Amino acid sequence: MRRLAVLAVAAVLVGAGGCFGPAVPPIAGFTACLNGWQGLLEMQFNSTSSTIGNHWITLYSWDFGDGETADDYGGWVSHIYAEEGTYTVRLTVTDDRGLTASTEQSLEIAYPAVIGDDVVASGAPSRAVGEVDNRSGFFLLSVTIKVKFYDADGVRIGEGTTNVTEIDAGERVRFTVEGPSYPDVVASVRASVTAYVTECSGTYPVPVGGKP
């Protein structure tokens, strides 16, 4: 009976720690990328966490650094920030053994595509001409720009959109948006970015180690 008891204790120790050693915790990691389909400060977070063989991550707990948190079970989550700034994002993962691990990153959250101040209306028919600046470190697949045209009384008399594609980090690209048919009534224009697509937008995490 004593031998059976010893074997039972040994089995528990091996299951918990493996070869009587300390239990190996999971490894936490994640990537972050801007996801601007709605033109917002939306960040996409993908877990790259892993754990030992024959085990898997069961819970991903996110702290976005702005007072908001979220739990998910797939390792992919998105979050919209209210304003630009530097935020410390923390991920804590838990595997099926109940073991946890955490990691954090300090991220600069800012709009990647910015319209220059020199947007002007000219020509017949009228058109707005300006520049969009990719001030981020991301490659932008496309940027959607909307221009509104106003008369001398500040009344909007027309609008138009255009897409600028494949903008490298730090690159400035000129754009043109067609306006009303009567250019003499256009007194001012206002341009804004309504959407942007980064290189990582729409991607989903690939499980790393353990059970998908």
Using pLDDT thresholds of 50, 70 and 90, give the confidence band for residue 52.
Answer: very high
Whether the pLDDT of residue 9 is over 50: the answer is: no
Q: Each residue of 161-177: pLDDT tens digit?
A: 999 999 999 999 999 99
User: Strand pairing of 41-47 and 69-72?
Assistant: unpaired
What confidence category does residue 1 fall into, taking pLDDT thresholds of 50, 70 and 90?
very low
Instruction: Name the residue with higher pLDDT: 202 or 55.
Output: 55
Question: What are the sequence ranges of the domains in the chain?
Answer: 2-109, 113-198
Specify whether domain 113-198 bears CATH 3.30.200.20: no
pLDDT of 15 reads 45
Distance CA 61, CA 194 (A): 31
So what's the pLDDT on residue 137?
82
Quote the pLDDT of residue 134. Answer: 93
pLDDT given at position 211: 32
Most confidently predicted of 2-6, 34-38, 59-63, 108-112 = 59-63
Query: CA 197 to CA 209: how far, in whole Å?
Result: 30
- The reply to whether 113-198 shares the fold of 2-109 is yes
In 48-171, which ranges are E strands? 57-63, 69-72, 76-81, 85-95, 100-109, 113-115, 120-122, 127-134, 140-150, 156-167
- The answer, yes or no, to whether residue 7 has pLDDT greater than 70, is no
Residue 192 — φ and ψ, nearest 5°? -150, 155
% of the chain residues with pLDDT over 90: 62
pLDDT at 124: 64
Mean per-residue pLDDT, 42-52: 94
Q: Find the DSSP H helices in the chain.
A: 2-17
* Topology (CATH) of 2-109: Immunoglobulin-like (2.60.40)
Mean pLDDT of 5-24: 51
Selection from 88, 69, 65 nearest residue 77 by Cα: 69
**Torsion, Cα of 203, 204, 207, 212 (10° steps):** -150
Average pLDDT, the chain: 84
Each residue's pLDDT tens digit, 63-102:
999 999 999 999 999 999 999 999 999 999 999 999 999 9
Higher-confidence residue of 92 and 6: namely: 92
